[in-house]
Amino acid sequence: MSQYILRRLMIAIPSLLGISLVLFVVLALAPGDPFSELATNPNVPPEVQAALRAKFGLDDPIYLRYLHWLAAMVHGDWGFSFVSRVDVDTLILQRLPTTLYVVGSSQLLALLIAIPVGVYAATRPYSLFDQLANTFAFIGFSLPTFFTGILFILVFSVKLDWLPFVYTSVPGSGIPWLLEMIRQAIMPVMVLGLFQAASMTRFVRSAMLDVIRLDYVTTARAKGLGQAKVIVKHVMRNAMIPVVTLIALQMPAVFGGAIVTEQIFRIPGIGSLLISSILANDTPVVMAVTFVFACLVVLFNLIADVLYGWLDPRISFR
Amino acid sequence: MISAVLLLLLIAAVVIGPFIWRVSISDIDVVAGLQGPSLAHPFGTDDLGQDLLARMIYGGRISLAVGLAAMLVSVFVGTLIGALAGMSRGALGYGLMWLTDLFLSLPQLPLLLMLIYLFRDGLKALFGPEGGIFILIVLVIGGLRWMPVARLVRAQFLSLREKEFVEAARALGASPVRQVVRHILPNALGPVIIAGTIDVAAAIIAESTLSFLGLGFPPDTPTWGRILYDAKDFLDIGPHWALFPGGAIFIAVVAINFIGDGLRDALDARKVI
């Protein structure tokens, strides 16, 4: 098992390198100069500009620049925000926990909805429950997160006045503060979680239907095992393998949804950092946040791979 | 069925709407700002008193056009790469599939935002503010969504190229290009059509998301996402302003997804239980 995880890690490294290469090529191809802010500033004399360009290696051939940039990223030297005059890595580390908290709890919510609903729907295909679940799932993943977010604000904040629609992160402690933190996270987590749950329910249902008609399931039933035991112990474990793949493939979309949700509810995570730095032309932060998102996607793919090994031990021996 | 009718209605409204509803999209009338639906303004007005129905019709044209154009780009790129990977028996196929997997693990929205941020000004100078952004958004959305199509096409090609009728064509001396274009591709189109349909919906959502984040079309161009973005600060006094464009996006996307689902049932019999 540990050998298998190690092998997967070795596979993740080239894909990270590939992503970093794509990002770098995009940046290098882009018209305009990252130093244009300095170039248009009349207070900076041309000699200083040239010295700065030489220092940052902007006139080197492109492969050298990529290697320099990569080395700097690996060393944790992620540059300096033009706007807030802070190191990019401290800026990101400040905001990453919020994003992970919101994304993590919404994934948890999605699993808690999708697995029971999908499994129950698959055990009774084409029943009323199955059709209702299917319809809701269809509507759920056709509703873009920005529209559900606005609908939720309209209903729960404006009309009913139950929940706050602006996420504040005042440091504090104690039970009331904790309750307030949970209360303000309800809407963002619901928006993201329901969106995820909709597509996951469909995955779970169709994966269960594929497995439930196999011969070994009939054997298990013929042995006299109860329905619940057959479903949970025999069908679900095998049905979860394709579901894990599909959930891993969904991760880029999840982080995309997180950016939108953070923007609607003004959550101070890395998604809203990305938007504000794009609007402020803050290139180092934009690059770094995009790279962090890419790393998160690769990380979740890695977790999916480890889960395969656990769900189907044959995979880890291959 | 119902969804096809709905979608056709929506397209018709957007295409012939401007000839029937002849109100300008940019007439400012601050006195009549933020009104709910009425006879003079069936969908109400925004904070500057601009007529929302006219703006929605205009925006719908852009949103649907972006969806279709981005779908064409992604289907074209996906079919090309999938066909190359499916026909090659050597390193090229593996290389292209590695590229596909790499693109699948890219975080799309951040990358989309970054590309728009970096290339926006250059294209704006070349093709004007609206045309430049249109080309950019279509290319970027299409260029980041070709991977499922490429995988489908490759899978189809791998099985089709060993079939007897292709072998017969090869025995008759058909060149590889002719084998692909005349014999293999037509048989591989079913899943591509389904994926393309769903791509239209995804592209409409992507464009609206960009506009909603304030990074799509310029502010004076009202796409559905942009109207929603402008409306989100007035939810308490003018909820109609957000509900109409949001509802339009939702109806378009649901209708397209249902059509895709129906096509899947019709074209891909094996999926039906």
Residue A204 touches chain B, beta carbons under 8 Å: no
Task: Answer yes or no: do B258 and A138 touch at CB < 8 A.
Answer: yes
How far apart, in whole angstroms, are the C-alpha atoms of residue A184 and residue A188? 8
pTM: 0.81
CA angle A231–A131–B243, rounded 5-degree value: 125
- ipTM rounded to 2 decimals: 0.76
Q: HEC profile for B231-259? A: HHHHCCCCHHHHHHHHHHHHHHHHHHHHH
Residue A198 touches chain B, beta carbons under 8 Å: no
Contacts of B73 (CB under 8 A, 6+ apart): B138, B139, B141, B142, B143, B146
DSSP 3-state assignment of A80? strand
How far apart, in whole angstroms, are the C-alpha atoms of residue B125 and residue A31? 11
- Eight-class DSSP state of A310: H
pLDDT in tens, chain A (318 residues): 778 788 878 877 887 888 888 877 777 776 655 555 555 566 666 677 677 666 666 666 777 777 877 787 777 777 777 677 777 788 888 888 888 888 889 989 999 999 889 888 888 888 888 888 888 888 888 888 888 888 888 888 777 767 676 666 666 666 777 777 777 778 888 888 988 898 889 888 888 888 888 888 888 888 888 888 888 888 888 888 888 888 887 888 888 888 888 888 888 888 888 888 888 777 778 888 888 888 888 888 888 888 887 887 777 665
How far apart, in whole angstroms, are the C-alpha atoms of residue B198 and residue B206? 12
Q: Single out the residue of A195, A201, A197, A192 nearest to residue A101, CA to CA.
A: A192
Task: Answer yes or no: do A147 and B104 touch at CB < 8 A.
Answer: no
Residue A138 touches chain B, beta carbons under 8 Å: yes
Longest distance between any two alpha carbons in chain A, whole Å: 86
Q: Which two tokens stand for residue B75?
A: 């289907």
Question: For residue range A102-131, what is the model confidence (pLDDT) as tens digits?
Answer: 888 998 999 999 988 988 888 888 888 888
Residues of A in contact with B261 (CB under 8 A): 138
Contacts of A81 (CB under 8 A, 6+ apart): A87, A88, A91, A277, A282, A284, A285
Could you give the percent of chain A with pLDDT greater than 90? 2
**Amino acid sitting at position A137:** A
Q: What domains, with CATH codes, occur in chain A? A: 2-74 (no CATH), 90-311 (1.10.3720.10)
Long-range Cβ contact pairs of B262-266 (< 8 A, separation 24 or more): B262/B1, B262/B3, B262/B4, B263/B193, B263/B194, B263/B197, B264/B194
Residue B225 touches chain A, beta carbons under 8 Å: yes
Q: By CA distance, what is B206's nearest residue in A?
A: A144
